[in-house]
Amino acid sequence: MREVEIKALLVDPYQNTPVVLLKDQGSEKVVPIWIGTPEATAIAIALQEREFPRPLTHDLLQNVIDAMGGELDMVVIDHIEDSTYYATLFIRDREGEIHEIDARPSDSIALALRTGSPIYIAEEVFAASAIDLPYEDDDQQREQFRVFVEKDMNLAEFKKFIQ
C-alpha cells in the first residue's frame, strides 16, 4: 500500500471530466481518477478550506461519524475493475471496532480531506494505473491542462468550467 496526496484537481481536456491526480509520496508517479462533478466540487471546497454556513453533504457525513463517536482511520483505494476504482472507508467506532465500508474514491477523498485522514492506494491499483504527471510542472503547461487546484486553484473558474 502507498500513501498518496492530492497533487491536482483538473479537467481532463479529452473527456471534459474532472480528474483528481493522486501522487505517490514515494515517487513522482500519479494515479488519475475520473470523478463526478458534485464530488469534484466537494473535493475542491475541502482543498480550499472554504467554510459554508450550512453543512454540505460530505460535511454531514463527517458530522454523523463524529456524533456516533467514530473516526475515519484511513481510506484505501483498493481495487479497479472495468476502469472503475473501488475504495474502502475504515471507520473505527468508540469501542475500537473497525468497520470497512465500500465507497467511491471521490466520496472517500472528499471525506478524508475533511477529517485529515490518510489516503492509501493498493499496490496492484498503483501498478495498473500510475503514470507520470501528464503535464510539465510549469505554468504554461498547467494552464493547458486546466489545473484548477495546486498552488493557485480558482474555484470560481473550476465551477464555471464544470457546469
Q: Rg of the chain over CA atoms, in angstroms?
A: 16
Q: Is there binding between residue 131 and a copy of itself (CB under 8 A)?
A: no
Q: Is there binding between residue 114 and a copy of itself (CB under 8 A)?
A: no
Could you say which DSSP state residue 147 is in? B
At 16, give phi and psi (nearest 5°).
60, 40
CB-count exposure of residue 161 (10 Å: 0-12, 13-18, 19+): middle
Taking the least distance from each CB to a copy of itself, the nearer of 38 and 134 is 38
Pick the binder of a copy of itself from 26, 48, 99, 137 (CB under 8 A): 99
Pick the binder of a copy of itself from 61, 76, 77, 147 (CB under 8 A): 61
Q: Is there binding between residue 128 and a copy of itself (CB under 8 A)?
A: no
Report the alpha-carbon distance of residue 22 to residue 29 in Å, rounded.
Answer: 8
Pick the binder of a copy of itself from 5, 26, 50, 101 (CB under 8 A): 101
Query: What is each CA distance from 37 to 40, 114, 131, in whole angstroms?
Result: 5, 18, 23
Pick the binder of a copy of itself from 5, 27, 28, 60 (CB under 8 A): 60
Binding site for a copy of itself (CB under 8 A): 38-39, 41-42, 53-58, 60-61, 63-65, 67-70, 84, 86, 89, 91, 93, 99, 101-104, 107
